[in-house]
Amino acid sequence: MHEDLLYNDPTLASFYDVENEWMDDSETCFDMAAQAKSVLDLGCGTGLLAVAMAEGGKRRVVGVDPASAMLAIARAREGGQDVTFLEADARSLRLDERFDLITMTGHAFQCMLTREDRLALLRTIAAHLSDKGRFIFDSRNPAAEEWLEWNRDESERVIEHPELGTFLAWNEASLDAATGIVTYETHSRNLIGTRHYEAKSRIAFPDKAELEAILKEAGLKAERWLGDWSGEAWGPDMPEIIPIGKRG
């Protein structure tokens, strides 16, 4: 997998929390964590959710991410000392431990660009779930074609970075029809025009049929399928594909 500067460059990583605050996915996972004694947060990024789920050391939380720049922010976060943060690839991760809850939010699952990548990730989840443990992750529904909205006209926004100042940000995206992979560019330019940061990211859009097949192949079973983070059941026109399940 290529190195995505959006997550691996320290300056670009510092924009992440500015643009991604506490959201519905975090709330849902936080509620699920209330029933767990241990949590594995894959693709934990800057650690916002992982630290919240730890609740000041109330439960064991392990946060895993391949991007050192994101983990540096996570470890420095207030409460970061309450989480064990590991720099690792979730596809090959093997810990001598099982967890009551495994989460993967923020569409990190879509960074798994091939079927083989996705299956390896799901096998990691199966290897680390306790007997009564549950997993949850999210992936955008390809039928919604959300990438069509990732153009400058519809995505342009103003960002107030606490250290770097005011920036104008926007996205551009293109779909490779042959692979189903979307490449999107993230641009941030300060208002006086002296700094322009940019990164290219690639994400996949597997459909529900594929997810059902590879969940079974990985030894997992979805008990519920949500179509968004408000809790609505999945349907073909829903924006998200969110399985909640267990080993089986």
Which whole number is the average pLDDT over 43-52?
96
pLDDT exceeds 90 at position 41: yes
Q: Give residue 3's pLDDT band: very low, low, confident or very high (50, 70, 90).
A: low
Position with higher pLDDT, 21 vs 89: 89
The whole-angstrom separation of Cα 22 and Cα 74 is 15
Residue 62 tokens read as 């392990």
Q: What angle do CA 83, 81, 44 make, to 5 degrees?
A: 40
Q: What are phi and psi of 153, to 5 degrees?
A: -60, -40
Whether the Cβ atoms of residue 140 and residue 240 lie closer than 8 Å to each other = yes
Q: Taking the complete model, does pTM exceed 0.75, yes or no?
A: yes
CA 2 to chain CA centroid, nearest Å: 17
pLDDT exceeds 90 at position 173: yes
The whole-angstrom separation of Cα 41 and Cα 121 is 13
- pLDDT tens for 203-239 read 999 999 999 999 999 999 999 999 999 999 999 999 9
- pLDDT tens for 88-142 read 999 999 999 999 999 999 999 999 999 999 999 999 999 999 999 999 999 999 9
DSSP notation for 121-167: HHHHHHHHEEEEEEEEE-EE-GGG-GGGG-SHHHH-EEEEETTTEEE
Residue 207 is predicted with a pLDDT of 97
Q: Is 120 helix (H, G, I), strand (E, B) or coil?
A: helix
Residue 23 is predicted with a pLDDT of 75
pLDDT exceeds 90 at position 7: no
